[in-house]
Chains A and B, each alone.
Chain A
């Protein structure tokens, strides 16, 4: 989900026409407490306010209760990336509120008010949550501040200019008051059309590092910490409704198989069994029971028959070979440059060629909370309880299945136990399953649809397997004479609602991002793409196309450095047009130099240790990393990752640090041993013992330096992932001389401890 702001707006119109509900907001405000003042920015950017309950068209982000509690209505879900803290910080900053009086609540599904302004639809993805909200939420906070100050000025009979507001306390001379004192009077005022925002030198919360709290200072710590440490934080998995029935699916043994029949006679004898019905789309059999455990046991007792005629039946080795053949076809030209034959001819006269094939496997996201959601009937339609990542897709999808209008589908968003992209399927897959199950049971009974971990690991929507084939010709002086780069992978977007806006001339941007648009000055570069076709459903996985393009590009640059005998880090700087860099190149060079200093790059490396470097731009954020390893033969421990980051204004530095730490660990899980493989079409892995995320002992030390920047905030949830695998590959090369181009590294004979 990248970067096509202008074109995405076209889709805004289509999608927002589908969902215009005010009712949803009013419910949201009600859950936020006794709301006396609510305000925000309408779709047109005009500020509006009204007392709670008033039937006024507005788009609220801020609600202030009679007790002075400020509730920030978060239009983005929280999967751990820190959005609720970030959005709350933006409002609290401009409102000059005390951090302790700030709360957050999740917005209802309402595309007209809560659209992601970059994506044009309500949803979280592409590391855009803070970036697209940065001005919107600050304006909402500034408008509330303006109204509170004017209300105080009127009561105290002073000019607004004479009032100071700090940490939630208004003062003028000897007069002193709180938000609670003025919230009702403020609600009656006309909101400012264009409230004045602070200049960065006036920030008291934005940019404050909560990590300093451990040294006795205070800062805006995470708003979700207490609930997530006392068991009270609610995830969809925790929802229990009276009379609720639990549903699990008997799922196909191979992707693309359809159910032709089933036998539930043994299940009928089990306690708690309610019913079993084939899904109308033949994708499986829904099994209903009185508890989660009873549903799992009933499912085990059911046998199903499948039509495998359109199913994926290949094994992983055959898929890799098919990807290889696809890449060789170079069907879709992404960028023109010299082709292979030309490079070979040029190289024959010049110097050397580098030729390499890179291969990456399917990967499951495996969020800790297995997929699930609850659907219940309401007086006017249904309500979905979900860690909902993309309401703009889920709402119309569920509505279509149930024969409802989108606005008849309310969504209550809860915390999501991780996602990494998995909860934002263009098909809204698990919500659709829940809606079908709910309908099969008659549409009157609340249903909780639950995936087991095995369902999750075997269930598809993987990061696509991909293969890159590159040939680079070098001139005698080490310059790049030509670069032919061929990619084969399955398109995420083709056939989805995003196709119209993010597929151009047949090229799925998410298949080539990170190779296309490289910041390196590589004038003689040809890039081509061939779509790979398989029934295996694929999806964005934390950092999307950059998961493989970052690995390939940063390995290739390292290979160029090795071939030309230059320092890998200096090679990168030399390719960033040092004499006259673009602003982007300058920022990339900035993080590279910062990482160089942070890690002490260039110091002698002792025997048994090695280090590798990589840097990559994704989601408008620049990251450079040095990875330090200990190595004994083929046994490797990743010791330390030094990361330099430029993500524009750092709203919550400690959240940014946490996202880099987590991104490193997430990327290492995949790089060391993560792979989903197929054996005659059947997924070979089934649960954490054979698809094992990184564990505590494997986690390296992580040092993060955030480059100071006045640029607009950019993404942080994903950009920490892409440099990890190539930096590790480059460290392994530095240690062994062995260039690993196939992920995971365990397949190359390395053992990680």
Chain B
């Protein structure tokens, strides 16, 4: 166990954990940021997707000791930024207007992946959406609406 200082959603957070602990469990069990989900633990489902310096990353395969000074953004951070962050706002509102969610458990990861995509590629093609989001499983198979919501968000960003 050792003290590690992280930058989480714009705030410094010091945690006393084993550096090998996956970031996922530090977020969920130590910092109580439970919007980031545990789905598989082997980077096969994307439910744990967060941003490290803006890049979508699987928190279940990221040792907390390796994060260093990278800025961590979770779904809570993305949701809190919708007044100032156009991309986060467009994605969240598109997700709601298209009624994408069913059980909702994977959607934090889907949304973080979508925000990451639209920051890099504001007007993605279907192929670009496939590349960015195919690693995010949805057992309810809301994929039709996920795709539609990404396009809807892109349209709104363009306007």
Encode contact with B along A389-430: 1 for CB under 8 Å, 0 otherwise: 000000000000000000000000001111110000000000
A415 in contact with B103 given A291-B30, A661-B142 (CB within 8 Å): yes
Query: Contact between A689 and B79 (Cβ–Cβ < 8 Å)?
Result: no
**B99 is an interface residue with CB less than 8 A from chain A:** yes
Task: State which of A55-63, A230-238, A329-337, A708-716 sits at the interface with chain B.
Answer: A230-238
**A435 is an interface residue with CB less than 8 A from chain B:** no
A221 in contact with B96 given A80-B102, A418-B105, A661-B145 (CB within 8 Å): yes
**A699 is an interface residue with CB less than 8 A from chain B:** yes
| B18, B47, B105 pick with most chain A CB within 10 angstroms | B105
Query: Which A residues are CB-close (under 8 A) to B34?
Result: 231, 234-235, 237-238, 240
Contacting residue for A293 out of B25, B32, B74, CB 8 A: B25
Contact-size category for B = 35 or more
Query: Contact between A237 and B38 (Cβ–Cβ < 8 Å)?
Result: yes
Encode contact with A along B22-59: 1 for CB under 8 Å, 0 otherwise: 10010011101111111111101101000000000000
Min CB distance A640 to B, Å, is 11
Query: Contact between B97 and A229 (Cβ–Cβ < 8 Å)?
Result: no
Min CB distance A123 to B, Å, is 18
Q: A687 to B39, alpha carbons, bound, how many Å? A: 10
Min CB distance A272 to B, Å, is 9
Query: Contact between B142 and A370 (Cβ–Cβ < 8 Å)?
Result: no
Min CB distance B32 to A, Å, is 6
Query: Contact between A699 and B143 (Cβ–Cβ < 8 Å)?
Result: yes
Min CB distance B137 to A, Å, is 5
A662 in contact with B102 given A221-B96, A230-B92, A368-B39 (CB within 8 Å): yes
Q: A94 to B58, alpha carbons, bound, how many Å? A: 46
A222 in contact with B39 given A230-B76, A693-B139, A695-B137 (CB within 8 Å): no
Query: Contact between A418 and B103 (Cβ–Cβ < 8 Å)?
Result: yes
Query: Contact between B44 and A662 (Cβ–Cβ < 8 Å)?
Result: no
Min CB distance A427 to B, Å, is 23
Q: Taking CB as reference atom, which chain B residue is nearest A664?
A: B141
Contacting residue for B99 out of A221, A246, A416, CB 8 A: A221
Q: Taking CB as reference atom, which chain B residue is nearest A668?
A: B141
Q: Taking CB as reference atom, which chain A residue is nearest B111?
A: A229
The number of residues on chain A lying at the interface, defined by a beta carbon within 8 Å of a beta carbon of chain B, is 68
**A342 is an interface residue with CB less than 8 A from chain B:** no
Query: Which B residues are CB-close (under 8 A) to A366?
Result: 139
**A688 is an interface residue with CB less than 8 A from chain B:** yes
Query: Contact between A80 and B144 (Cβ–Cβ < 8 Å)?
Result: no
Encode contact with A along B6-34: 1 for CB under 8 Å, 0 otherwise: 00000000000010011001001110111
Query: Contact between A418 and B140 (Cβ–Cβ < 8 Å)?
Result: yes
Query: Contact between B74 and A662 (Cβ–Cβ < 8 Å)?
Result: no
Query: Contact between A214 and B97 (Cβ–Cβ < 8 Å)?
Result: yes
Query: Which A residues are CB-close (under 8 A) to B41?
Result: 296, 452-453, 687
Query: Contact between A292 and B29 (Cβ–Cβ < 8 Å)?
Result: yes
Query: Contact between B25 and A229 (Cβ–Cβ < 8 Å)?
Result: no
A696 in contact with B32 given A80-B103, A221-B99, A687-B44 (CB within 8 Å): no
Query: Contact between A696 and B130 (Cβ–Cβ < 8 Å)?
Result: yes
Min CB distance A464 to B, Å, is 20
A229 in contact with B137 given A237-B37, A687-B40 (CB within 8 Å): no
Min CB distance B60 to A, Å, is 10
Q: Taking CB as reference atom, which chain B residue is nearest A234?
A: B34
**A444 is an interface residue with CB less than 8 A from chain B:** no
Query: Which B residues are CB-close (under 8 A) to A687?
Result: 40-42, 44
Encode contact with B along A23-62: 1 for CB under 8 Å, 0 otherwise: 0000000000000000000000000000000000000000
Query: Contact between A689 and B42 (Cβ–Cβ < 8 Å)?
Result: yes
Query: Contact between B104 and A224 (Cβ–Cβ < 8 Å)?
Result: yes
Contacting residue for A453 out of B42, B92, B99, B140, CB 8 A: B42
**A697 is an interface residue with CB less than 8 A from chain B:** yes
**A658 is an interface residue with CB less than 8 A from chain B:** yes
**A107 is an interface residue with CB less than 8 A from chain B:** no
Min CB distance A130 to B, Å, is 15
Encode contact with B along A580-607: 1 for CB under 8 Å, 0 otherwise: 0000000000000000000000000000
Query: Which B residues are CB-close (under 8 A) to A696?
Result: 129-130, 133-134, 136, 138, 143, 146-147
Q: A235 to B105, alpha carbons, bound, how many Å? A: 8
A231 in contact with B74 given A418-B140, A694-B141 (CB within 8 Å): yes
| B33, B75, B101 pick with most chain A CB within 10 angstroms | B101
**A666 is an interface residue with CB less than 8 A from chain B:** yes
Query: Contact between A368 and B139 (Cβ–Cβ < 8 Å)?
Result: yes
Query: Contact between B96 and A229 (Cβ–Cβ < 8 Å)?
Result: yes
Query: Contact between A369 and B103 (Cβ–Cβ < 8 Å)?
Result: yes
Min CB distance A422 to B, Å, is 11
Query: Contact between A368 and B141 (Cβ–Cβ < 8 Å)?
Result: no
Query: Contact between A697 and B111 (Cβ–Cβ < 8 Å)?
Result: no
**A367 is an interface residue with CB less than 8 A from chain B:** yes
Q: Taking CB as reference atom, which chain B residue is nearest A213?
A: B97
Q: Taking CB as reference atom, which chain A residue is nearest B77?
A: A231
Query: Contact between A293 and B29 (Cβ–Cβ < 8 Å)?
Result: yes
Contacting residue for A688 out of B35, B42, B99, B111, CB 8 A: B42
Query: Contact between B105 and A417 (Cβ–Cβ < 8 Å)?
Result: yes
**A718 is an interface residue with CB less than 8 A from chain B:** no
**A153 is an interface residue with CB less than 8 A from chain B:** no
Q: Taking CB as reference atom, which chain B residue is nearest A219?
A: B99
Contacting residue for B96 out of A225, A271, A688, CB 8 A: A225
**A254 is an interface residue with CB less than 8 A from chain B:** no
Within 8 A of B (CB), among A615-663: 654-655, 658, 661-663
In the A-B complex, the 5 residue pairs with the closest CB atoms: A665-B141, A231-B35, A417-B105, A80-B102, A228-B104
| A-B pairs with beta carbons under 8 Å apart, 17 shown | A79-B103, A225-B99, A225-B101, A229-B107, A230-B92, A231-B76, A271-B1, A291-B29, A291-B30, A368-B45, A369-B103, A370-B38, A415-B104, A417-B103, A665-B138, A689-B44, A695-B134
**Given A235-B34, A240-B32, A418-B102, 12 more pairs with CB closer than 8 A:** A82-B102, A222-B101, A230-B75, A234-B34, A416-B103, A418-B105, A418-B139, A662-B141, A665-B141, A687-B42, A696-B130, A699-B141
